[in-house]
A and B are shown apart, each in its own frame.
Chain A
Amino acid sequence: MIPALALVVGVVLGLVLEPTVPGALQPYLPIAVVAALDAVFGAVRAQLEGIFDDRVFVVSFVSNVLVAGLVVFLGDQLGVGGQLSTGVVVVLGIRIFSNAAAIRRRVFHA
Chain B
Amino acid sequence: MSLLVDMMNNTLDEGYAERAARRAEGPAPAPRAPGRHRWTAGLALVAIGVVTGTAISQVRERQEASTGLRTELAAEVRKRTAQTESLADQAEQLRAEVAAAQAAALGADVAGRSATRRLEELGLASGTLAVRGPGVVVTLADAPEGAVAPDGSLRGGTSIDGRVQDRDLQDLVNGLKAAGAEAVSVNGIRLTALTAIRSAGEAVLVDFRLLSPPYVVRAIGDPDRLELELLDGPTGRRLATYTQLYGLGFEVERDASMSLPGASTRDLRSALPEEDRS
Contacts and interface: CB of A to CB of B under 8 A. Distances in A.
Given A11-B53, A18-B54, A60 B46 contact: no
B41 interface: yes
Most buried by A among B9, B38, B47, B59: B47
Contact of A14 (B7, B15, B57, B61): B57
A58 B55 contact: no
A77 interface: no
Main secondary structure of the interface of B (DSSP, over half): helix
A68 to B, nearest CB: 12
B17 to A, nearest CB: 6
A2 to B, nearest CB: 6
B96 interface: no
Given A10-B45, A46-B12, A51 B50 contact: no
Interface residues of A, number: 50
A102 B12 contact: yes
B40 interface: yes
Nearest to A59: B15
A17 to B, nearest CB: 8
Interface in A37-95: 37, 39-40, 42-43, 45-46, 49-62, 65, 91, 94-95
Contacts of A98: 8-9, 11
Interface of B: 7-9, 11-13, 15-17, 19-20, 37-38, 40-59, 61
